[in-house]
Structure 1
Amino acid sequence: MTHHDKPVNGQDNPSFLDLLNQLPPVPTAPKLEGKHATMRFARLRTAWKASWEEGGFLYQRWEEVFRARNASWHEAANWIKAAALFGGLSLIVLMLDATGDIASATLKSLSAVPATSGGDGRGLWGTVDHPVRVFLADQAAYLSVAPAALYAFWQLTGLVGLVGGFFGNAGARIAWLLFGIGSLAMIWSAAPAGGRAAATGLAALMWALASMFALRGLTLRPVVHNHPPQYQFNPELHLHATLPAPTPAGDGPGPDNVHPRQR
């Protein structure tokens, strides 16, 4: 089978022309339009069947898809990786576009809510919630946003920080800490002067209780990992001594302490 694409990373890139090359030649026939259409259909049907036979274009592509299920990313065929990347990028673009539309519609609906300072400051939650509403309503007078939108954003930040922190997200925990500090500052600023300390302290206690869930598993103790050494050193001393080879008997003059007897 002929390929028209150059191999990349040791793999042959399939070309759709390979499927067309497997088409059988057109036999000679009378120049009739109806017969020509029938012959083209028969030719395409024959090429379709031939491409699914062993060694055909579609047969090899199906084999590559079947092998890609258990292969790594680098072992997959190039056309499979290109299709996966294109599909993933298209999905990300669609998700970003949908997220932008949802966020825009939400912000527009919040901005259209009429300004209200709701709540009368009664009860434990009203002691904490009412100063926040009053503070945001006062600040919204200098901003081009409705107080209700600021209050909704404040609630959304606390909810995201609480839920995301519960699942261990670092960014959500940072948002939860900033949410608590900002809430205490707003309560201290807008609470009545006589009960300012009590309202702020009550809010701090509520925030600390909620932090048991938002900061679940967070500890200030240093984490010490005791891992066995990857390389073990065994000191050993190797001595290499070269000993002379023994001299065979009768080849030399004999031992030095043997002398001929003299008269």
Structure 2
Amino acid sequence: MPTNDKPVNGQDNPPFFDQTPLPPVLELDKHGARRLARLRGAWKESWQEGGFLYQRWEEVFQARHGSWHEIANWIKATGLLVGICLIVITVDTAGDIASAALKELSAAPATGAGDGSGLWGTVDHPIRVFLADQATHLSVAPAALYAFWQLTGLTGLIGGFLGNAGARIVWALFGIGSLAMIWSASPTGGRAAATGLAALMWALASIFALRGLTLRPIVHNHPPQYQFNPTFHLHATIPTPAGDDFNDKPDNIHPLQR
């Protein structure tokens, strides 16, 4: 295709298609490269001494050796937020596990120690019978009641061994309730023996659950922080004689004569 372009200063003009603007894709690539260069510059500048990230890193480094009041507020807020999230996740997971365990226990039949033979069967069988009779009037399986009774006793035993006051109260109520159930569901002829045997077992287990418990009052003899020592300051003012009163001799003094 012929062109009408004329030479300028002895040089031919470039063809028309060489003077067309760049495609939009190339223009976007240029803008992206400029933005990336600016981001890299801002990143390097923030890590220089006095920069934003440099100061935050210094605060994190100083927090390892400082007290709670010396830690930066943003570190405290971040730590509290992470702790709350962990607690929520832990509670949610524990709730799912407990719910699944209770469903399995509710569906499980009440088996084991059903004949009441042996020492443990003498104590455990009346409790199973009592819970099974009560479960007929409730919308809960006997196995679930029995599992809850076991969990309550285990919690009171472990918590009481660790010195928790509430767990020791739970352990005391667990023992009283167990004795009442055994007395109610045991055969009439062996009711007293079964209840007494259960009381002895509960007393032996209380050695661990009530470890360190004493009925003696604890008296703390601490010296007083402030001691009061009363002192009296008497200020006596002696008047000073005026003139030459010390030099004046009294009239009633006479020299000794033989």
State which of 154, 161, 166 in structure 2 corresponds to 1:166.
Answer: 161
- TM-score (norm: length of structure 2): 0.80
Verify the 8 A CA contact 2:102 2:144 in the aligned structure 1: yes
Paired with 1:154 and 1:102, the residues of 2 have a C-alpha distance of 18
Paired with 1:35 and 1:142, the residues of 2 have a C-alpha distance of 80
State which of 107, 125, 132 in structure 1 corresponds to 2:127.
Answer: 132
Partner of 1:3: none
How many residues align? The count is 224
151-160 or 35-44: bigger deviation: 35-44
Q: Please state whether the residue corresponding to 1:168 is helix, strand or coil.
A: coil
Paired with 2:170 and 2:32, the residues of 1 have a C-alpha distance of 69
Paired with 1:38 and 1:103, the residues of 2 have a C-alpha distance of 56
- TM-score (norm: length of structure 1): 0.78
Q: State the AA in 1 paired with 2:150.
A: Q
User: 1:80 and 2:75 equivalent?
Assistant: yes
User: 1:66 and 2:56 equivalent?
Assistant: no
Paired with 1:253 and 1:168, the residues of 2 have a C-alpha distance of 86
For residues 18-167 of structure 1, what are the structure 2 equivalents within 5 Å?
Answer: 32-116=27-111, 118-167=113-162
Deviation per residue, 1:160-219 (Å, 9 max, x gap): 111111111112111111110000000000001001001100100000000000100001
Q: State the AA in 2 paired with 1:166.
A: F
Deviation per residue, 1:9-68 (Å, 9 max, x gap): xxxxxxxxxxxxxxxxxxxxxx94333322222221121111111110001111111222
User: 1:215 and 2:205 equivalent?
Assistant: no
Paired with 1:205 and 1:149, the residues of 2 have a C-alpha distance of 26
Q: Please state whether the residue corresponding to 1:232 is helix, strand or coil.
A: coil
Q: 1:254 to 1:133 in 2, by over 3 A?
A: same
User: 1:231 and 2:226 equivalent?
Assistant: yes
Partner of 1:200: 195
**Could you list the runs of 5+ residues in structure 1 that have no partner in the other structure?**
1-30
Q: Please state whether the residue corresponding to 1:194 is helix, strand or coil.
A: coil
For residues 182-197 of structure 1, what are the structure 2 equivalents within 5 Å?
Answer: 182-197=177-192
Q: Percent identity?
A: 75
Verify the 8 A CA contact 2:108 2:143 in the aligned structure 1: yes
User: 1:180 and 2:171 equivalent?
Assistant: no
Structure ID, larger Rg: 2
How far did residue 239 of structure 1 move?
Answer: 2.4
Q: Please state whether the residue corresponding to 2:198 is helix, strand or coil.
A: helix
Verify the 8 A CA contact 1:188 1:200 in the aligned structure 2: yes
Q: 1:117 to 1:134 in 2, by over 3 A?
A: farther
Paired with 1:115 and 1:212, the residues of 2 have a C-alpha distance of 30
Paired with 1:111 and 1:69, the residues of 2 have a C-alpha distance of 50
Verify the 8 A CA contact 1:115 1:147 in the aligned structure 2: yes
Partner of 2:255: none
- Cα RMSD (Å) of the superposition? 2.2
Q: State the AA in 2 paired with 1:222.
A: P
Paired with 2:203 and 2:139, the residues of 1 have a C-alpha distance of 33
Verify the 8 A CA contact 1:111 1:145 in the aligned structure 2: yes
Partner of 2:245: 255
